[in-house]
Each structure stands twice: as structure tokens, then as C-alpha cells.
Amino acid sequence: MDPTMLDRAMTAFHFLSAYHKHEVVGIENIPRQGPAIIVINHTLATYDAFLLAGSIYQHTGRVCRSLGDKAIFQTPVISKLALKLGMIQGSPSAGLQLLKEGHLLIISPGGMRESLRPEKKRYQILWQDRMGFIRLALGAQVPIILAACPLADNLYSVYENPLTSFVYRRFKFPIPIARGLGPTIIPRPIALKHYVRSAISPPPGPEHMNDTLTHFHGQVIEEMQKLIAFGLAHTPALQPKEVTLPL
């Protein structure tokens, strides 16, 4: 972690936070000490995760660590920036080591596949076959804290197209066709709000036990879907019918 880069990152955070009038509901659910896995939805903008991490640093003084997709570390310039900001290439052993050291670890289980969802699939999470973060929580016996930012999906309109699908399937690399403000790639100046749920403690037992793994995975997915629905219900222009989640 480069201290100079952290200072620069916080300068960028203040700018983006003001641009999006960013808020965090439930920041008190972030522990001030000890390890935890903060699980977020993945959007094309991606930097909504940075906004959350900046708010956590601002309110608790804790620097969140993150596991990045392999493609990030295969991209010149971006890979160096990611390392200086404390990101490391995602692997079970790397995540476990960070948790053993007592860090807060931000994970986006849906990865780039989730970020490339077309506009008609906004607000959906694609975690059904992503079990790694659940195994990590069970193996390390650390809580999962869900954080959703539903309207980050509205920063861009992402269009479904065969080129994006082919390149991602073949090379695991994102080539989205999308637009933001007007016909540009500037993200829309939408007010963003993160909703942070209270911690979900993992059940005891070996992480390889299929029943435990499947049940906990299903529980976490269900709670994230509720959290996203809760956030949408509190956006005047978007009013889903059934939302019962209390924070």
C-alpha cells in the first residue's frame, strides 16, 4: 500500500463523492477492528466500490483491501495502480492471508461477468455459481457484510451485443458497448447511496461440507437481493412492490 497513492485516492474520492452526492446508510455496521468480508454488487462503473472504501476509511480509519480479477493485473498501467492501492490478484490463499492479518476485504463475487450485464438485467446479481467467497468466509470463520449500491447500475446504459459476449467467453476480457451522459462515456451524475447490512456470521464447520456451503450461499444471495430491493424502494423513481428488509 503506497501512502502517497492513498492520499491521491482520497482526493479523487472527495471529487467523485461530491459528483454523486454519495452516502452510506448503515456505516455503523462496519467493524472498527477485526477481519470481515464486505461483499458488493459489481457494476460497469466499478468505482462505486472505491466510493464505499473511501467512506469506510473516512469514518473508521480502516483501509479496505480487495481481490482483483486476473484481467486487471494483465493490463499495463492499471495493474501498477491496483497494486499501489492495495489490491492483489484474487485467489483463495491471498484472501485467507489478508483475513488472518485482520483486514477488511472487499469482494465482488459477480466479477466482470456481472458488470457486463445489459441494461435489461439491471439490479440482478450473478452469484449462483460463485462459491469462492462463501468458502473463504467459512474457512476463515469471519462475518460477511453485504453492501449494495443499486443505482450504480444506472450510471451507464449497457447494450447487449454478440461482440461483448464472445470476447468475454473466449478471453475473459471486457469490451462493453455502453454510454453514460448523453452519447459520452462520462458517468451520469446520479446520486449514489450504499446500503450496508449488519454482519452475517458463517455457520461453524468445515467449509467443504456441501450442505453447509450451499445453505449459507443461498442465505447470502437472498439477503443481497433483499438489500438491493430495499435500496430501490427508497428511490422515488423506482418503487418495487415487495420490500420488507429492515436495516
Class of the domain covering 3-233: alpha beta
Q: What pLDDT, in 10s, does the model give residues 114-158?
A: 999 998 899 999 999 899 999 999 999 999 999 999 999 999 999
Tell me: pLDDT of 37 over 80.
Answer: yes
- Cα separation, 84 vs 79, in Å, equals 9
Sign for the CA dihedral angle at 70, 168, 132, 210 comes to negative
Mean pLDDT along residues 186-190: 95
pLDDT at 85: 75
- Cα separation, 24 vs 5, in Å, equals 23
pLDDT-based confidence at residue 243 (cuts at 50, 70, 90): very low
User: What is the domain partition of the chain in residue ranges?
Assistant: 3-233
